[in-house]
Amino acid sequence: HEAKSTSSGLVTLTAAEIAPPSDRVRLLGELRRALENDELVVFFQPQVEVTTGALCGVEALVRWQHPRHGLLLPGSFLHVAENTALVGPLTSRVLDLACAQMQTWSAAGRDISVAVNLSARSLYDRRLVHQVRTSLDRYSVAPGRLRLEVTESAVMHDPRRALAVLTELADDGIPLSLDDFGTGFSSMSHLRMVPARELKIDRSFVRDMVREPDDAVLVRSTVDLAHNLGLAVVAEGVEDEQTLRQLERLGCDVMQGYHIGRPMRVDEFEDWLEARAPVHSSEVPA
């Protein structure tokens, strides 16, 4: 299982700790109840332009406010939902939370774009396109404000089907991002067909790029590839100033990481925003 990052004092249980095989069924039941009781929340992590530091948008990252275990990271429960009928309602809930927040921000004069992650399962769920449209309509959000992140491995599971769904979403005007880019084995010919607007370079390449020349080469090549295809590049997992500087030299467009801001509850995020941009300064529309 993935290593758990701690942010904002999260309780970090591993999947095995809360879900040994015998407990999977119980966990599923709890998750179902969690959806009914509104225990799922989203945190927002800022994404900023590398050269100016201007806010481009935020990524919505789901957390489970568990009544006994505290705040759980997606690594400890998403995989349980993934192979069940719960993934649909979960995706739908996150979409609603993201769109509701965009509507609230718009009403306050802030047009902030929110990116939502799509799991592999939901990408192949026939109801996805309808769910996305329903959330946008319900909260009067323009399709261009929502962004959807899909991983290349999710796309590669069944490229033909994935491309049909992604094309439908892109035709609605929703910008798509290829998440965790570089970690999957994708064929360039398939990638070329994905109607994405941006690539997100996986944290595993960004993390050590200052110390590891090979990683720096991979980041540089990805930036060049993306730009040559007319796509923007987002670096995830930027944890220090040297990495930021190097990304700037390599021409990376947008970055995200603890060095800029951790995933935060909405009120914390708004404080973060206030602290770096005085109220009267105009915001760059996403």
Note the residues at the interface with ligand C2E (CB under 6 A): 5, 45, 61-62, 73-75, 78, 94, 117-119, 149, 179-180, 203, 236-239, 256-258, 263
From Mg ion, ligand C2E, none, interface partner of 215 (C-beta below 5 to 8 A by class):
none
CB-facing half-sphere around the CA of 222: CA atoms within 13 A: 28
Q: Specify the DSSP element, H or E, that contains 100.
A: helix 87-107
From Mg ion, ligand C2E, none, interface partner of 86 (C-beta below 5 to 8 A by class):
none
CA distance 69 to 270: 27
From ligand C2E, Mg ion, none, interface partner of 75 (C-beta below 5 to 8 A by class):
ligand C2E
Smallest separation, CB 112 to ligand C2E (Å): 17
Q: Of residues 187-206, which lie at the interface with Mg ion (CB under 5 A)?
A: 202
Q: Which one of 19, 48, 72, 149 is in contact with Mg ion (CB under 5 A)?
A: 149
By beta-carbon proximity to ligand C2E, the closer residue of 107 and 264 is 264
Smallest separation, CB 171 to ligand C2E (Å): 22
If one asks whether residue 152 binds Mg ion (CB under 5 A), the answer comes out as no
Smallest separation, CB 141 to ligand C2E (Å): 16
CB-facing half-sphere around the CA of 130: CA atoms within 13 A: 6
If one asks whether residue 222 binds Mg ion (CB under 5 A), the answer comes out as no
Distance between the two ends of the chain, CA-based, in angstroms? 35
CA distance 244 to 150: 24
Q: Take residue 64 and report the two structure tokens written for it.
A: 């489970």
If one asks whether residue 179 binds Mg ion (CB under 5 A), the answer comes out as yes
Give phi and psi for 69, each to the nearest 5: -85, -5
- Look up residue 27 and give its amino acid: L
DSSP notation for 11-33: ----HHHH--GGGHHHHHHHHHH
Smallest separation, CB 195 to Mg ion (Å): 18
Q: Tokens 């987002």, residue?
A: 234
* Interface ranges with Mg ion (CB under 5 A): 117, 149, 179-180, 202, 236
